[in-house]
Amino acid sequence: MGILGEIVRKPDEIYPLLKLKMAVKKAKKQVPPEPHWGFCYSTLHKVSKSFSLVIQQLGTELRNAVCVFYLILRALDTIEDDTSIQPDVKLPILIAFHHHISERGTNEYRVLMDQFRHVSAAFLELEKGYQEAVEDITKRMGAGMAKFICQELALLNLLRCNPLPHPPRMKCPNENYCSIHFVETVDDYDEYCHYAAGLVGLGLSKLFLISQLEVMTPDWEQLSNSMGLFLQKTNIIRDYIEDINEIPKPRMFWPCEIWGKYVDKLEDLKSEENSSKAVQCLNDMVTNALVHIEDCMKYMDALRDPAIFRLCAIPQIMAIGTLALCYNNAQVFRGVVKIRPGLTAKIVNHGKTMADVYGAFYDFSCMLKAKVDKNCPNSSSTLTRLEAVQKVCRDSGVLHKRKSYIRDEVKSNRLMCG
């Protein structure tokens, strides 16, 4: 359905869309005049419009720290994601990257970002505490990414040295397309997501603490990690088709422990003839992600600063909405599914209080619950986790304050792609 058709079908989304568009334009005009800061904020707008908006609402000191932190980790992630870079080249870059984020004029990582020197210059203007936190998380993330690349290389070498018989789940049809899986178990999956996103949650919490705008609960590290894992797992589920079709080599993050119950190879989920099994596997993956929701709500409920709250809450609401869209949806194996722009605009516009969060999580979980097929092998676990989420939301005592925009989606049980 085209944009005009969406407007006709959902006229109530016109105002939120216009408001979001105006906010994006305003944010672009607020780019600092200094070349290095101008580069940082302009780049932030390009790589993540919605995230840049909520960052812009932070106080200047924290806003600059979060902006630089995001760009440095985005740069590191770009290296890790680039399948055209040979592992023997990639490994030392990932491991040593944290040493170079403070070097003015560094040209060593042009493969990552031609003008990274601007990010380095901005980094050097941050308060020392922010610098130390950013460098520590960058170091830990680079080391974690390198660890999984080493595991992948070890499996490749094993296959080359012992081509017959292949180890279980590791089939190597040729040198250019090797369907090995370095994320074997659910524990591997959690560890990978920790390095890819859990550390981002930990890093942001550290920045909030340094700013003195937040005072974290004793279990803040666990809760911060869960915030990152929930977002990362949602992205991995949603991006199946993009990752599996990556050239020159597929990127495979779904754990063998889950997909191995349904198919022989992860790429088999794309096949039409495996549609039923693929959807069951997808539902299993969504159920795995749901386990983090209670931690996420607990983390957000403890936040005090309104701008920090929005920075954390809006992505989380988008995540539960995306999982509700993906669940039991074979389209995940045909193309990337996304919440339509109009609903995204409403979430950005209304995600301001914990009542909004509880309401959104409750209503999206109701939508997801309505899609559960009792014949699905994992349906009992799915329902148990959803009911636990709904209980927390009900116990908050604020569901009567929730906005109606999500309840409309629940009633129609439709969440159309944009």
Tally the residues of the chain.
418
Q: Tell me the per-residue pLDDT of 21-37, one tens digit each, with 9 for 90 and over.
A: 777 777 766 778 899 99
The closest alpha carbon to 323, from 273, 277, 385, 262, belongs to 385
Evaluate the omega torsion of the peptide bond into residue 377 and state whether it is cis, within 30 degrees of 0. no
As a whole number, mean pLDDT of residues 304-322 equals 96
Q: What is the mean pLDDT of the chain?
A: 84
* Angle between helix 220-238 and 275-290 (nearest 10): 160
Highest mean pLDDT among 68-82, 136-150, 183-197, 333-347: 183-197
Q: What is the pLDDT of residue 378?
A: 92
Residue 155 has pLDDT above 70, yes or no: no
Predicted model pTM: 0.86
Q: What is the pLDDT of residue 191?
A: 95
Residue 212 has pLDDT above 70, yes or no: yes
Residue 177's pLDDT band (cuts 50, 70, 90): very low
Q: What is the pLDDT of residue 106?
A: 46
Q: What is the pLDDT of residue 169?
A: 45
Q: What is the pLDDT of residue 300?
A: 98
As a whole number, mean pLDDT of residues 241-269 equals 90
Which of the two residues, 407 and 74, has the higher pLDDT score?
A: 74
As a whole number, mean pLDDT of residues 392-411 equals 77
Contact 375, 344 (CB under 8 A): no
Q: What is the pLDDT of residue 24?
A: 72
Q: What is the pLDDT of residue 9?
A: 66
SS (H, E, C) the chain: CCHHHHHHHCHHHHHHHHHHHHHHHHHHHCCCCCHHHHHHHHHHHHHCHHHHHHHHCCCHHHHHHHHHHHHHHHHHHHHHHCCCCCHHHHHHHHHHHHHHCCCCCCCCCCCCCCCHHHHHHHHHCCCHHHHHHHHHHHHHHHHHHHHHHHHHHHHHHHHHHCCCCCCCCCECCCCCCCECCCCCCHHHHHHHHHHHHHHHHHHHHHHHHHHCCCCCCCCHHHHHHHHHHHHHHHHHHHCHHHHHCCCCCCCCCCCHHHHCCCCCCHHHHHCHHHHHHHHHHHHHHHHHHHCCHHHHHHHHHCCCCHHHHHHHHHHHHHHHHHHHHHCCCHHHHCCCCCCCHHHHHHHHHHCCCHHHHHHHHHHHHHHHHHCCCCCCCCHHHHHHHHHHHHHHHHHCCCHHHCCHHHHHHHHHCCCCCC
Residue 320 has pLDDT above 80, yes or no: yes
> Phi and psi at residue 271, in whole multiples of 5°?
-70, 135
Non-local (6+) Cβ contacts of 272 within 8 A are none
Report domain extents, the chain: 34-141
Residue 7's pLDDT band (cuts 50, 70, 90): low
Q: What is the pLDDT of residue 160?
A: 53
Non-local (6+) Cβ contacts of 412 within 8 A are none
